[in-house]
Structure 1
Amino acid sequence: MIPHSPIRLTSAALRSQRSHTFKAFYATLRGGRSPPPEPSDDAPPPDNDFFMSILRSNPSLRDAKSYLASFGLRPQSYSSSSSEPKMAEPPPLADSSTSKQIPEAQELPKPSPVIASILNPVYRRTALVKIQGPFTDNQLDSISRGLVYLEKLGLVSVIVVEHDDRPRGEQDERPAIVDEVMRVVTNLEKQGSRARPIVGAVVRLGPKPEDDIVHSDPDFDPPETHALPSDLVAIRSALSAGEIPVIAPFALDSFCRSVRVDANEVIAGLARGMVEVSSVGPRSTGQEGSLEFSSELDLTPLRLMIIDRTGGVPSYARSGYPHLLINLTSEYQHIHDTFDERWRESNPSALTNLALARKCLMYMPPTSSAIMVSHKSPSSLIGNLITNKPAVSSSLPHALLQGNRKLTPHTPTLLRRGLPIQVLRSVSEIDKDKMNTLLEQSFNRKLDQVSFYNRLDNVLDFVIIAGDYAGAAIVTKEKSTSGSQTISYLDKFAVLPSNQGDGTVDFLWVALHDESYGLGHPFSANPNGGKGGKGDGRDLVWRSRADNPVNKWYFERSSGHVRLGAWVLFWCDAERRLKIEEGRRGSAGLSYIENWEKGRLSDWGEVVLKIPSSWK
C-alpha cells in the first residue's frame, strides 16, 4: 500500500487553484485547430495537396508509431499472418503511481530516413473500397487522388465499382458497368497510379461448399457469395505488379455464368476470401530487387472504405449529422430503430452500407475498421489510415461536439466491430476472477482484493463491462463532507492491453457518459444495458497523478480540473443541468462560478484525496 500525504484544502488554496480550471461547456473547441477547408469539386488540387492531407489528420506521436508499426520496417521474425499491431490507448485511471507504467506500442527499428519510409512503405496492406457512383469527372478525380495518396502511404486499394443509376436487369448493363470500371481506371492512372480493370467474376454465388461456420450472433446474415483461392488470382496478380485492381460487380452463378450482383455482396465475399487466403496460403512476391514495391503484401483487408455521395450514417443524437463512431455489436439494431424515415431519401444507402460494414468486419481482424465517407472528404481517408480514429472523438463532452467546426453533413462515420456493453449494479454480479485479471493487467500491479471488494460492498454505484471483461468502468458513491448528496467517483477505468487499439476505450467512455453526467439527454439513450438515458445526470469526479502523461486525454473529456499537490482532480458537469441553467439565463449566459458550484471543489478534494489505494 502506498501511503498518501493528506492535503488540507482551504478556501484560499482552492481560490488559488481556480485559475487552472476551465469549463468545456463554455468552449466551442479546445485542444485543436480548425482544419483547412476541403477543396471543392471544381477546384484543382494544390501542389502540396498530399502533404496537406497528412497534416490535416493531425496525428499524435502514438498515431505515428502505430502507423510505422503497420507499414514500416519490421523484424525478420515478424509473423505475416498476425493482425495489425495494437495502438496504445489511454491507460486506466491511476489511484497511485501507475502512470509511469504505460504500455507502449511495439518497439520497432526506426526507418532511416523516416520520410523515405512514409513515402515508400516497406510493408504494404490492402483495403477493400466500394466506389458507389454516379460521380462527375471532377468528383471521381478527387476520389482517385485520395486513393493514390493512400497507396503512397502503403495502403493499396482493391476497388469494387457500383453505379446506382444503372439498375440491375437492364439489357445493356454489362457494357455500362464495364465503362464505369474503365472510368475509374483512367482517373487513377491520370493521378499517377497504375490500375488494372478486372471485369471477370471474382466471387461465386451461394454458400461455400464446406462452409459450416456457426456465428455467435444469431442475427448475423452471412454473405451470399464466396471466393475460392483460384478466384483471387487476378487480384493477386494486379497487386504483385504494383497495380490497383478495379473490379466489376459480377459473380458466377451455379451454371458458371457471369451475372451482375450487388457490389455489397462482392465486397463481403472478398472480405472473407481474402482473410482466409492470407491465413493459409503463401504470399505472392514481387520481382527480386524491385524498388517500386515491397515483396511483402498482406492480403488481409486492413480497412473497408465506402465512398458515396452522402457519407456517414445519420444520427438522432446529432440532428441528422453523421455518427462519429459506431460499435456494431451493441449499436447496430439501435441505429435501425432510431433511423428517421426522412433519412431514407437523403441517405438512401446508409443502412445497406451499415450492414455491409458489419458483414465484412465479422471476418476482418478486430483492429480493422470501416469508414463511410462522401466524395467531399477525401483527406479523411488519410486521417483514418494514420490514426484509425474518427475525425472527432465521440467521447468528448457534448458541448464540444456541438460547437466543433469539424462536424458537417459530410463528416465520415468510423465503424468498429466493437463489443457488447452491460451495466452491473451490485458486487455479487461481478466476476471477480475476470475483474482481477483485467485490473492487474491494465495497471500492471497486484490488486489488494480483500480491501478493494470490501470497499465496493459499501460504496458501489455501478460497473460498466465491455465484452467479456475486456474493459470496465467502476463508479462509486462517496459520502460528502457537507452532508449533501453523495459524490459520483470514477474509481477505475481499465482496458486489457489486448484490446487497446480496437475502440474499446471510446465505447467504454461513451457508456460511462450515458450512465452518469450525460443522463437526461436523448442522445444518452444508447443500448448499454443501463438506464437508457432516463434520469438526472450527476457530476462525475476522478483523480489522476499529476505526472500522468495521459492527463491530456482526461483534460479533453472533462469539464474542468484542479491541481492538488501530487494529484489532478477532474470532473464532468451534469450536462442536462447546465443546459437548463443556460436556458434560464437566455442571452446572458452562465457566469464563471455559479452559486451551486461554490464549495463543491473543497468537498470533492476532501473526499477524493482520502480514498485508499487498491494495490498491494
Structure 2
Amino acid sequence: MSSNTPKQAIRLITKSLWKSGAEELYKTSIKRTSHNHKSVFSTCNPTQRRTYANESVTAARSRSHANPMLNGVSMLQWFFDEVRPDEREVRYWMKYFSQATDPRKPFAVIQLSEDVFRQEEQEQRAKEKGDVKRTILETLSLSMYFLQENKMNVILLVGCSTSSPHHQAAREQISKNIRKLVDRLEESGTHSTPIFDGGHLFNTDQNFRIESLNTPQLDWLIRHANIPVIGCVGESCEGRLGTIQLDESTLSLSAYTKPLKVLMLNADGGIKDDTGQRVTTVFLPKESELQKFAGQPWWNPDVEDRFTKVWGMLKVLPKQSSYVITSARDVLTELLTQRGVGTMFKRVVPVKKYKSLQDPLSDGQAEPKILLDVLPALVASAFEKSASKSYWNLLPADLDAVYLTDDVKACAIVRHLPMMPGVAYLDKFAVSREERGNFNIEILWQQLKHDYKSLFWRSRHDNIFNNWYEARSDGVVKVGYYHIFWFGLSSADINTIVTQCKKLPDSFDGERLTIVK
C-alpha cells in the first residue's frame, strides 16, 4: 500500500459520507465525541476536506509513535491494510459508530476461547525466531485500541469451556490468561481493567450456576473508559469461588447489557463445511427450526450444541443484535464490513408466501385481514409515496407471488410479464425504514433466490438499495432514471428485459418519469 493511501482513504470516506446523505449522522457522531478524546475519524466540515485529511493522518501517525505494535505506520493505515473496506461500507461504519457512543451500553460482548491463548504461546515462540510479525493477541489488542479510540465500548470475557468449581488450576489458568491479555492491551496503548476471580460480578448457586449479576459493579465498569477484562469465576452464597462456563457468563452479561454484537473469538475462525469452506451466515427464524440444518455436511453434535446456545443468546438480545464466531485476528473485518470473515448467526422474522391479494393473513389478529389490507401501507412506508389505485387494481392479473415477513415490515411482489413468460419480474421490494440495516431483508432475498432461478427488476437511480441490489445481481444496465438488474439470465435476454422495463407504467401517484432511450 502506498504512502498516499491514508489520505486517499480519508478523502474516500468524506466523499462517500456526503454523497450518501449521511452528513447529519456523521455530525451527530462527532458531536458525541468528547473534546479530550479525539477519534481517528474526527473531522471538520466538508469545505475543509483537504485540511481534514492532513490533520487526521497527522493525529493518527503521532499516536503510532507511542505504539510499538504498529511498527511506525499510522493507526489509520493499519486499519485500511487490515480491513480493506470499499466505498459502500463507509455508511455502515458510521451507523455502528453512532450506535456505540452510549457509555451505558457496550457495543460488543466478546468471549475468548482457550485456544486463542494456546495459539498465542506458539506464535510468541515463532515471533522470537522471526517467523511471525505479529501474534494473535497483538492483532486483537490493536483492534481493541481502534474500537476504544472510536468510543465503541466492549467487554472481554476470559474463562473455561467447562465449569470446575473445585479445580484451583482452572482459576489459576484464567488469571494467567487475563494477565497475558492485559499486557498485550497495554503494549498496544489500550486501557483495560482486569477483573480477577470474577470481581464479585457473578452470584452463583452451590453448583456455580449463575443466579444473578452484581449490576451496580458491572454498571460502574461499563461507565469507565477502560475495557473490562473479566474472568469467568463466580461466588456462591457460601462465599466459595469456582469457575463458570464461558458461554453461561457470556449469556448472562449479554442479557443484561443488550450489545449489538456478541463475539466468540477462537484461533480458527468461523464454522467450516466438509470441504473446508466457511459457513458465512446462519438465519434462525424459530428454535423449532434448528433441526433443518441437520442435513448439512458440517452438522455434528458439537455444532448442534453451539447452535442451541446461540439461539438461547439471541432470544435475550434485541432483534438487531447478532452472534458471531470468528478468529481473534479478524475482529475489525467482522465488525466493520459486510463481507465478514466468520460465521454470523441472526434471529430473523419468518417469511410467508402468498399467491393472491385476497389471501388471509395468519398474523393472529383479532379481526382477520387479507393481504390487500396491509400491502399498500407497507409499500407507501417503504417508498415514502403511495402506489396508485390502478396499480393495485391491475396487479392481480399477472401476480405470481407476494412474500411478506410476519411482522409486516418487508415484502416482495413478483409478477410475470407477457413478453417474458418464462422469467419473473420483481415488481416491488419494499422494506420499512426501521428495518433497513437489519437482516430480515436478507432472509426475504434468500427466499426469492430459492424460489426463482432467474429474476429481473428495475430501481430508481437514486434508490439507496442500488449498491445492495448490485451486489446480489449478475448484472446491471443504467437506462435514464432507472437501473435494471437481473440474475439467472443469458446475455440474449438482456435487451428484452430492458425493453420491458422501459415500457412498464408508473406505479406511484403523481410519478411521471421520462426514460432516456
Superposed pair shares fold, TM > 0.5: yes
Task: Name the SS of the counterpart of 2:358 in structure 1.
Answer: helix
Q: Name the structure 2 match of 1:333.
A: 290
Q: Name the structure 2 match of 1:204.
A: 203
Deviation string for 1:222-260 (max 9, x for gaps)? xx63534xx033333334443222222223445453322
Larger displacement relative to structure 2 (435-444 or 546-555): 546-555
Q: Name the structure 1 match of 2:9.
A: none
How many angstroms does 1:203 deviate by? 2.6
Q: Name the structure 2 match of 1:36.
A: none
Cα–Cα, structure 1 residues 364 and 458, in superposed 2: closer, same or farther, change >3 Å? same
Paired residues of 2:105 and 2:259 also in contact (CA < 8 A): no
Q: Name the structure 2 match of 1:419.
A: 349
Query: Which of 576, 601, 604 is the aligned partner of 2:494?
Result: 601
How many angstroms does 1:472 deviate by? 0.9
Task: Name the SS of the counterpart of 1:238 in structure 2.
Answer: helix
* AA partner of residue 111 (structure 2): K
Deviation string for 1:402-421 (max 9, x for gaps)? xxxxxxxxx21233332212
Task: Name the SS of the counterpart of 1:227 in structure 2.
Answer: strand
The CA distance in 2 between the partners of 1:353 and 1:49, in whole Å, is 38
Q: Name the structure 2 match of 1:129.
A: 110
Q: Name the structure 1 match of 2:265.
A: 307
Paired residues of 2:263 and 2:326 also in contact (CA < 8 A): yes
How many angstroms does 1:445 deviate by? 0.8
Deviation string for 1:459-515 (max 9, x for gaps)? 12122222321111111111227xxx4331001001111111222332322222111
How many angstroms does 1:192 deviate by? 1.9
The CA distance in 1 between the partners of 2:323 and 2:192, in whole Å, is 23
Q: Name the structure 2 match of 1:442.
A: 382
Paired residues of 1:225 and 1:268 also in contact (CA < 8 A): no
Task: Name the SS of the counterpart of 1:301 in structure 2.
Answer: coil
Query: Which of 86, 89, 92 is the aligned partner of 1:63?
Result: 92
TM-score, normalised by the number of residues in structure 1:
0.59
Task: Name the SS of the counterpart of 2:379 in structure 1.
Answer: helix
The CA distance in 2 between the partners of 1:172 and 1:515, in whole Å, is 55
Which protein has greater RCO, CA pairs closer than 8 Å, 6+ apart?
1
The CA distance in 1 between the partners of 2:150 and 2:473, in whole Å, is 35
How many angstroms does 1:131 deviate by? 0.6
Q: Name the structure 2 match of 1:251.
A: 234
Deviation string for 1:269-288 (max 9, x for gaps)? 111223xxxxxxxxxxxxxx
* AA partner of residue 259 (structure 2): P
* AA partner of residue 265 (structure 2): I
Whether 1:480 and 2:419 are equivalent positions in the alignment is yes
Paired residues of 1:330 and 1:421 also in contact (CA < 8 A): no
Cα–Cα, structure 1 residues 47 and 67, in superposed 2: closer, same or farther, change >3 Å? farther
Task: Name the SS of the counterpart of 1:313 in structure 2.
Answer: coil
Cα–Cα, structure 1 residues 144 and 335, in superposed 2: closer, same or farther, change >3 Å? farther
Query: Which of 184, 187, 207 is the aligned partner of 1:187?
Result: 184
Task: Name the SS of the counterpart of 2:316 in structure 1.
Answer: coil
Q: Name the structure 1 match of 2:372.
A: 432
Cα–Cα, structure 1 residues 341 and 448, in superposed 2: closer, same or farther, change >3 Å? closer
Paired residues of 1:459 and 1:477 also in contact (CA < 8 A): yes
Q: Name the structure 2 match of 1:363.
A: 316
After superposition, residues 214-613 of structure 1 pair within 5 angstroms as: 225-228=210-213, 231-253=214-236, 255=238, 257-274=240-257, 300-315=258-273, 319-329=275-285, 333=290, 336-340=293-297, 350-381=303-334, 384=335, 386-387=336-337, 389-391=338-340, 411-429=341-359, 431-449=371-389, 451-480=390-419, 485-517=421-453, 539-548=454-463, 550-573=465-488, 597-598=491-492, 600-613=493-506
Deviation string for 1:334-355 (max 9, x for gaps)? 56413436866xxx5x554444
Task: Name the SS of the counterpart of 2:260 in structure 1.
Answer: strand
TM-score, normalised by the number of residues in structure 2:
0.69
The CA distance in 2 between the partners of 1:49 and 1:321, in whole Å, is 34
The CA distance in 1 between the partners of 2:234 and 2:269, in whole Å, is 27
Deviation string for 1:539-574 (max 9, x for gaps)? 211112345464333333222233444433321115
Root-mean-square deviation (Å):
3.3
After superposition, residues 131-210 of structure 1 pair within 5 angstroms as: 131-134=112-115, 135=117, 136-137=120-121, 138-164=135-161, 170=167, 172-198=169-195, 199-200=197-198, 201-205=200-204
Deviation string for 1:267-308 (max 9, x for gaps)? 11111223xxxxxxxxxxxxxxxxxxxxxxxxx423212101
After superposition, residues 71-150 of structure 1 pair within 5 angstroms as: 71=100, 125-134=106-115, 135=117, 136-137=120-121, 138-150=135-147
Deviation string for 1:443-467 (max 9, x for gaps)? 1112334x33433322121222223
Cα–Cα, structure 1 residues 467 and 154, in superposed 2: closer, same or farther, change >3 Å? farther
Task: Name the SS of the counterpart of 2:262 in structure 1.
Answer: strand
The CA distance in 1 between the partners of 2:487 and 2:378, in whole Å, is 25
How many angstroms does 1:602 deviate by? 4.0
Deviation string for 1:358-392 (max 9, x for gaps)? 333333333333322113424424xx1x45x342x
The CA distance in 2 between the partners of 1:341 and 1:62, in whole Å, is 34
Task: Name the SS of the counterpart of 1:502 in structure 2.
Answer: coil
Paired residues of 2:266 and 2:328 also in contact (CA < 8 A): yes
Paired residues of 2:281 and 2:345 also in contact (CA < 8 A): yes
Task: Name the SS of the counterpart of 1:461 in structure 2.
Answer: strand
Unpaired segments ≥5 residues, structure 2 = 1-67, 122-134, 360-369, 510-517
The CA distance in 2 between the partners of 1:544 and 1:236, in whole Å, is 47
The CA distance in 1 between the partners of 2:85 and 2:310, in whole Å, is 23
The CA distance in 1 between the partners of 2:294 and 2:438, in whole Å, is 25
Task: Name the SS of the counterpart of 2:476 in structure 1.
Answer: strand
The CA distance in 2 between the partners of 1:51 and 1:351, in whole Å, is 40
Paired residues of 2:110 and 2:156 also in contact (CA < 8 A): yes
Paired residues of 2:161 and 2:245 also in contact (CA < 8 A): no
Paired residues of 2:165 and 2:242 also in contact (CA < 8 A): no
Cα–Cα, structure 1 residues 65 and 250, in superposed 2: closer, same or farther, change >3 Å? closer
Paired residues of 2:354 and 2:403 also in contact (CA < 8 A): yes
Task: Name the SS of the counterpart of 2:153 in structure 1.
Answer: strand
Percent of aligned positions that are identical: 22
The CA distance in 2 between the partners of 1:335 and 1:197, in whole Å, is 41
Deviation string for 1:144-203 (max 9, x for gaps)? 232222212212221111345997754532222222222222222222223222223423
Unpaired segments ≥5 residues, structure 1 = 1-42, 73-79, 81-121, 207-223, 275-299, 392-410, 518-538, 575-595
Equivalent residue pairs, number: 407
Q: Greater share of helix residues, 1 or 2?
A: 2
Task: Name the SS of the counterpart of 2:86 in structure 1.
Answer: coil
The CA distance in 2 between the partners of 1:464 and 1:341, in whole Å, is 29
Task: Name the SS of the counterpart of 1:372 in structure 2.
Answer: strand
Paired residues of 2:160 and 2:170 also in contact (CA < 8 A): no
Q: Name the structure 2 match of 1:211.
A: none
